[in-house]
Structure 1
Amino acid sequence: MTETGLQKNILDATAPHRELFRDNGFHCYDTQGQGEANKVTRDAVIFDHGQKVGIPIFLYRPKTKKGDPRFWLSRLRRFVDPGDVLAVFFHDGVPHFANLTKDDEVNLEAPETDWDRLLESLRLNYEAVGIELLGKLRDLAASGPIPADGTGDTSIGRTIETALGIQINSSQSPDYKGIELKSKRSRSKTRNGLFAKVPDWRISDVGDFREMLERFGYPSPDGLRLYCTVSSKSPNSQGLLLRVDEDAEVLHELARSSAGDKAVCAWRLSTLHVKLQEKHRETFWIRADELKVGAQPCFQLTEVTHTKRPSNIQFDRLLSEGSVTVDHMIKMLPTRVHERGPQFKVARGELHELFLGAPKIYDLT
């Protein structure tokens, strides 16, 4: 909070504020007219030493300065001093404001506050989905082998998701109420898939996958293809390797030759971090035995590893060390080039390093 803003009773509704208000169905500045007649007053909550206080919030666009979006909280100077950091979030459709600077002034030995109760409620809601999903997986395991849905590597994922009542689709969102599901056969020693992400062609030397395939692909009975794993440890048979540029915050894929390393494609680390956080905020890594009941292929659930809160710092470190790798699966089709990735994967033994806090492992047998 600036001293000027407090003195003038003005808070600028910056882009993050506007998006937060709009996305929560609270207020849209885009359709609001300018001037006092178009000012909107709504209810809000601010925490004062841990206790909730209901206050009005005024949302408006003045006639001056092109109607820059603004808002103000009634009696704000009672709760905030110049230089304080004020956070805003939504709960039950109402904006809640918390003075983060004054958090350390709360007596930790005092009776439970509204803030404590809200955090506990949010924690319980957050954990409830995981508890529900674990219960369903235990029920599936107890019911015995599940008939396989289809064949091939992806059949285990389809089988388990179908058994959980999840509709199979191409959405990139987590599978079960915000929890990502990753299923593998118990005997599998392969790396764990994290996510797929196309390079940022704007900062890449090649312009698209076709050019990449033409430069580094190899002939196969089905035509030109490039199926390979790329790591920062050493170049692969195509001469491709990864390099993390921490200063520029970019992951480079390079091609090594006798003339040196040349740029191929690149990803901004910030983009990869966003993808990692979106995909694996919370993940169930499921393992199952593959067996047959008569002639019917089936899966018997055996174990779940539950992870939360991926670390961007650890992700970058694992990339640099070669424990997180990139798989290309590019091939030439009659009318186009097809790429099933690039897929970012982490070594099975390094999965726990990627997350804050120790993973929880549940035996389903």
Structure 2
Amino acid sequence: MTHMRSFSKLEERNIAYLVNHNISFTLVQVTGTGLKKSILDATAPMRSYFFEQGIHNYSEQLQGPNHKQILPTRIFDERNEYQTKTSLYRPITKKGDPRLWIYQLGEHTHADDIHAICAYKMEFRVINITRVNIEKSYTASEPSPLKEFIAELYHTSSTTSEELLAFFKCHKGEWFEAEITADTGIGRTIETMLGIAQNSNKTPDYKGIELKSYREKRSSTKNVLFTQTPDWSLSTLKSGREIVAKYGYLDKVKGKKTYQNTVQCNLPNSQGLGLTLDQVKELLELQHFGTPIEDVAVWTLRKLHQRLSEKHRETFWIAVDNKYQDGKEYFRYRSIEHTRNPILPQFDLLLEAAIITVDLLLCRPSGHGDTYSFKIKKNGMPLLFPESLTYDLLS
């Protein structure tokens, strides 16, 4: 598998500019071979992005030219746009590895240039971030198609967050009855009030904005970032039940083995389990620190970065006051922390510093499914989410 080369200073500035304007995108490097053969590999992050945007699902696409999908495409430079199209396909040869090609791309690129591909209204917008200075185009006095595109998407994003904040401000100080008396009761009630259907989708909740609610009184010192099962195909043990069988302990009430504990880097827990970050292999490893050290399970850093990026591109962290009356729970909104654009390299550093930890909740007596919950200490939030605003909903 080929990896994308290191970014230049201009590419870094372009990526930061898109991120700070809340524009979602995927990246592709045009290799010399790809340019010559008019073939680009659809990488795993790219395929995930297309799927999440509802634009294409390679896993359901059949092989061969008869099943090729063609999408309208616009290529931007700093002053102009060029209308073309992109084909997404799986060839008959080999395993039908996912491919794409942007027609006429050769007129706007050189070998090893990196391009941002933005999915928008069932079309693609393509920007050569190696050659185009996006900030220069956007701040220029004269209009340009690229400037108009960024302005439109940025306005749409800002409108959504303003709309959501207006909803919470409209209900400032009001008490609401939770749908159910359970840990998830308040979150479920907020989703119902916003018209969000109950489902197990791992994507953000409200028009691309993730909602995370927590009770201020009983709030722990950590926030849940996301849940993610290990990659069992790369792991020594192949399931949560195998972890429990080898390292679990007896639940005295149920008389069955369970495992509910936190694991972190640098310090094994009471059962001897801990985490190791292997940057060379790009893995987060769950290990038993005995003699010898035993490998247990792994997560790929690429998958964890993908989950963080998908889940928390924009998030409302909602703190609530709660009370109980006649066996029912009631709550009101206290404050909202509004975060955007986590810094992915910081995720690894915070893991190593044990500011991000993982709760293993396996074979629980309650009957809930196995959960691998990645949490961050609240004092680490500004390190992962540098762009945040806090809104007081009680004053």
Tell me, yes or no, whether TM beats 0.5: yes
What letter corresponds to residue 137 of structure 1 in structure 2? F
Same amino acid, percent of matched pairs? 31
Query: Which residue number corresponds to residue 293 of structure 2?
Result: 261
Query: Which residue number corresponds to residue 271 of structure 1?
Result: 303
Alignment equivalent of 1:32, drawn from 56, 62, 65: 65
- Further displaced range: 101-110 or 147-156: 101-110
> Aligned-pair distance for 1:331?
2.3
> Aligned-pair distance for 1:235?
1.6
Corresponding residue SS for 1:359:
strand
- Further displaced range: 150-159 or 116-125: 150-159
Following the alignment from structure 2 to structure 1, what is the Cα–Cα distance between the partners of residues 70 and 263? Answer: 56
> Aligned-pair distance for 1:288?
0.7
> Aligned-pair distance for 1:73?
4.2
Cα deviation 1:218-253 (Å, max 9, x = unaligned): 112113211111122422111111111112111111
Alignment equivalent of 1:11, drawn from 32, 38, 47: 38
Alignment equivalent of 1:166, drawn from 178, 196, 205: 196
Asked if structure 2 preserves the Cα contact closer than 8 Å seen for 1:209 and 1:339, the reply is no
Alignment equivalent of 2:179, drawn from 112, 129, 149: 149
Asked if structure 1 preserves the Cα contact closer than 8 Å seen for 2:286 and 2:298, the reply is yes
Following the alignment from structure 1 to structure 2, what is the Cα–Cα distance between the partners of residues 295 and 4? Answer: 67
> Aligned-pair distance for 1:125?
1.1
> Aligned-pair distance for 1:332?
6.4
Alignment equivalent of 1:221, drawn from 250, 253, 271: 253
TM-score if structure 1 supplies the norm length?
0.80
> Aligned-pair distance for 1:339?
3.9
Alignment equivalent of 1:46, drawn from 63, 75, 80: 75
Superposition pairs of residues 232-247 of structure 1, within 5 angstroms: 232-247=265-280
Query: Which residue number corresponds to residue 328 of structure 1?
Result: 360
RMSD, matched Cα: 3.9
What letter corresponds to residue 98 of structure 1 in structure 2? I
Asked if structure 2 preserves the Cα contact closer than 8 Å seen for 1:51 and 1:114, the reply is yes
Asked if structure 2 preserves the Cα contact closer than 8 Å seen for 1:88 and 1:95, the reply is yes
Closer, same or farther in 2 for the Cα pair 1:233/1:92, shift >3 Å?
same
Superposition pairs of residues 1-365 of structure 1, within 5 angstroms: 11-12=38-39, 14-15=41-42, 24=55, 30=63, 32-33=65-66, 44-54=73-83, 56-57=84-85, 73=103, 77=107, 79-80=108-109, 85-104=114-133, 109-142=140-173, 144-190=174-220, 191-219=222-250, 220-223=252-255, 224-257=257-290, 259-292=291-324, 296-331=328-363, 339-355=369-385, 357-365=386-394
What letter corresponds to residue 15 of structure 1 in structure 2? A
Corresponding residue SS for 1:202:
coil
Following the alignment from structure 2 to structure 1, what is the Cα–Cα distance between the partners of residues 70 and 227? Answer: 44
Following the alignment from structure 1 to structure 2, what is the Cα–Cα distance between the partners of residues 274 and 245? Answer: 17
Structure 2: 5+ residue stretches without partners:
1-29
Closer, same or farther in 2 for the Cα pair 1:364/1:29, shift >3 Å?
same
TM-score if structure 2 supplies the norm length?
0.75
Following the alignment from structure 1 to structure 2, what is the Cα–Cα distance between the partners of residues 186 and 261? Answer: 40
> Aligned-pair distance for 1:343?
0.9
Closer, same or farther in 2 for the Cα pair 1:98/1:115, shift >3 Å?
same
What letter corresponds to residue 353 of structure 1 in structure 2? L
Corresponding residue SS for 2:172:
helix
> Aligned-pair distance for 1:327?
0.9
Asked if structure 2 preserves the Cα contact closer than 8 Å seen for 1:205 and 1:265, the reply is yes
Corresponding residue SS for 2:233:
helix
Asked if structure 2 preserves the Cα contact closer than 8 Å seen for 1:241 and 1:253, the reply is yes
> Aligned-pair distance for 1:282?
1.2
Structure 1: 5+ residue stretches without partners:
none
Q: Which has the larger radius of gyration?
A: 1
Corresponding residue SS for 2:249:
coil
